[in-house]
């Protein structure tokens, strides 16, 4: 029997984004596994959960008992769910799948039933401080072989999600409303259709275009925007409403035929179920580590298949290459795969994580090595510490003109 002998967290930021990777060591010499536990807004809380709570609870356990380890570790805190606990669980869970693949001499996608496709089509991001800048960047992506592009353009003078004006990526001490932390939902809803009008005029109708609201507007404006964007034939309309207001998807479904993607802020399968059961969305796009890792995610993919809902797992820059490998494993085996969000790696990330999946022809390709097929250079990882930040990664507040908080 092979047992867990140590569990530890590795913190690194080769792209200046806080990544947390969990390493599980075993009683079999040289056999280790890696899992993604990245909660970039609260990374140190996850590290504490892994090192001080999960490690002592799980050392000595049989590495083959993935499901039982997941269930018992989740219940060991009595209160369940939440992004801190789930990311800690995900780190261990993914690492155990990595170990199981290495023991079998098989990639994880083979353990899950084998490939349904050769590679996973991805969408990448085009963003700019103006509509023209955004569309120019999209054109570059198309010339580089990408067929699916998400478009985000800044509202002039405002902090706008997904652009260089987004304060979520720039640490700013929160205080009274200033031009740097203001976001006007109505201004944004007026601008977005103009962006897609220009994009369709310049890029044509063969490229698939996407847009992310990031839950930043009230329901009535989200529904209005869904109607306004419908003529531009989006591939999907992403995260229009926060989890607290998902009942409004019924109205959106009634008033627009635009394909809907949702799930980035979900932290449990239960949150997903009303939208799935009522077929109120077309794509599920949870962040795997936020719902607990590979074990719950493969169940979610199967549930969605039964309801005709496709997968579009969250794949931003704050997903480590291990997390992306888990996304790709599910992409490979799911008949209901839709699209994969992906943020290309910089050279430092490729150096820290040898074996990163290859990106070419608008797709990511599995490397077919055992487990995730990716390792980590721990010595090099230490050369990329977390960047200084006044909140240790937390988002500053974005406010409406009256000073009220905008809720993503």
Distances (CA, A) of 147 to 143, 196, 293, 364, 397: 9, 16, 29, 13, 34
Cβ atoms 329, 109 nearer than 8 A: yes
| Residue 336 tokens, joined | 């209901």
Distance CA 183, CA 398 (A): 7
Q: What is the mean pLDDT of residues 121-143?
A: 97
pLDDT tens-digit map of 19-43: 999 999 999 999 999 999 999 999 9
What is the percent of the chain where pLDDT is above 70? Answer: 96
* The pLDDT of residue 99: 98
Cβ atoms 239, 215 nearer than 8 A: yes
Could you identify the residue written with the tokens 């487990």?
Answer: 371
Chain centroid to CA 68: 26
Distance CA 354, CA 6 (A): 22
* The pLDDT of residue 397: 84
Cβ atoms 17, 346 nearer than 8 A: no
In the predicted model, is pLDDT for residue 179 greater than 70? no
Distance CA 377, CA 129 (A): 36
Phi, psi dihedral angles at 169 (to 5 degrees): -105, 0
* The pLDDT of residue 402: 84
* Total number of residues shown for the chain: 408
Of 145-154, 169-178, 209-218, give the lowest mean pLDDT range: 169-178
Distances (CA, A) of 391 to 160, 319, 401: 20, 20, 23
* The pLDDT of residue 173: 45
Cβ atoms 100, 63 nearer than 8 A: yes
| Residue 118 tokens, joined | 């050769």
Phi, psi dihedral angles at 65 (to 5 degrees): -90, 60
| Residue 397 tokens, joined | 């507040």
Pairing of strands 283-284, 310-311: parallel
Could you identify the residue written with the tokens 């699209």?
Answer: 339
Pairing of strands 208-212, 236-238: parallel
161 carries an active-site annotation = yes
Of 170-184, 193-207, 303-317, give the lowest mean pLDDT range: 170-184
Catalytic residue (one of 125, 148, 211, 214): 214
* The pLDDT of residue 167: 55
pLDDT bin (cut points 50, 70, 90) of residue 177 is very low
pLDDT bin (cut points 50, 70, 90) of residue 117 is very high
pLDDT tens-digit map of 39-56: 999 999 999 999 999 999
This prediction's pTM: 0.94
Q: Which three-class secondary structure state does DSSP give residue 77?
A: coil
Q: Which three-class secondary structure state does DSSP give residue 360?
A: strand
* The pLDDT of residue 166: 65
In the predicted model, is pLDDT for residue 7 greater than 70? yes
214 carries an active-site annotation = yes
* The pLDDT of residue 248: 97
In the predicted model, is pLDDT for residue 401 greater than 50? yes
pLDDT tens-digit map of 329-384: 999 999 999 999 999 999 999 999 999 999 999 999 999 999 999 999 999 999 99
**Where do the domains of the chain lie, and which CATH numbers do they carry?**
111-370 (3.20.20.120)
**Beta-carbon neighbour count of residue 78 at 10 Å?**
5
Helix axes 185-203, 131-143, angle to 10 degrees: 40
- Where do the DSSP E strands lie in 257-333? 260-262, 283-284, 310-311
Q: What is the mean pLDDT of the chain?
A: 94
pLDDT tens-digit map of 202-230: 999 999 999 999 999 999 999 999 999 99
Catalytic residue (one of 123, 161, 188, 232): 161
Distance CA 121, CA 105 (A): 26
pLDDT tens-digit map of 248-259: 999 999 999 999
pLDDT tens-digit map of 280-315: 999 999 999 999 999 999 999 999 999 999 999 999
* The pLDDT of residue 182: 87
Burial class (CB in 10 A: 0-12, 13-18, 19+), 143: exposed
Helix axes 185-203, 219-229, angle to 10 degrees: 20
Distance CA 339, CA 84 (A): 27
In the predicted model, is pLDDT for residue 159 greater than 60? yes
| Residue 357 tokens, joined | 């999946």
* The pLDDT of residue 188: 94
* The pLDDT of residue 169: 53
């Amino acid at each position: 029997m092979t047992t867990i002998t140590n569990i530890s967290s590795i913190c690194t930021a080769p792209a200046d984004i806080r990544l947390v990777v969990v390493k599980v060591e075993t009683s079999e010499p040289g056999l280790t596994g890696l899992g993604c536990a990245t909660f970039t807004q609260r990374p140190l809380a996850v590290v504490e959960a892994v090192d001080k709570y999960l490690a002592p609870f799980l050392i000595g356990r049989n590495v083959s008992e993935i499901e039982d380890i997941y269930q018992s570790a989740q219940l060991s805190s009595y209160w369940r769910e939440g992004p801190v606990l789930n990311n800690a669980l995900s780190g261990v869970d993914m690492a155990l799948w990595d170990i199981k693949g290495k023991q079998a001499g098989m990639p994880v996608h083979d353990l899950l039933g084998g490939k349904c496709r050769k590679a996973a089509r991805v969408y990448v991001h085009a963003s700019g401080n103006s509509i023209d800048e955004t569309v120019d960047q999209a054109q570059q992506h198309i010339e580089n072989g990408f067929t699916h592009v998400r478009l985000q353009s800044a509202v002039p003078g405002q902090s706008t999600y997904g652009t260089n004006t987004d304060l979520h990526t720039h640490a700013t001490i929160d205080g009274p409303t200033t031009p740097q932390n203001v976001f006007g939902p109505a201004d944004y809803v007026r601008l977005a259709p103009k962006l897609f009008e220009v994009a369709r005029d310049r890029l044509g109708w063969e490229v698939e275009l996407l847009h992310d609201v990031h839950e930043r507007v009230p329901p009535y404006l989200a529904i209005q925007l869904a109607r306004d964007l419908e003529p531009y034939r989006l591939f999907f309309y992403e995260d229009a409403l926060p989890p607290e207001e998902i009942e409004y998807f019924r109205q959106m479904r009634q008033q627009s035929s635009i394909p809907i993607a949702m799930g980035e802020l979900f932290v449990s399968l239960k949150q997903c179920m009303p939208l799935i059961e009522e077929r109120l969305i077309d794509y599920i796009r949870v962040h795997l580590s936020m719902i607990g890792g590979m074990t719950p995610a493969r169940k979610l993919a199967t549930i969605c298949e039964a309801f005709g809902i496709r997968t579009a797992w969250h794949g931003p820059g704050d997903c480590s290459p291990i997390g992306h490998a888990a996304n790709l494993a599910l992409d490979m085996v799911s008949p209901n795969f839709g699209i994969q969000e992906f943020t290309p790696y910089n050279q430092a990330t490729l150096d820290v994580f040898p074996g990163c999946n290859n990106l070419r022809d608008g797709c990511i390709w599995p490397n077919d090595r055992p487990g995730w097929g990716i390792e980590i250079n721990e010595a090099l990882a230490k050369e990329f510490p977390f960047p200084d930040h006044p909140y240790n990664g937390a988002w500053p507040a974005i406010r409406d003109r009256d000073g009220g908080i905008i809720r993503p």
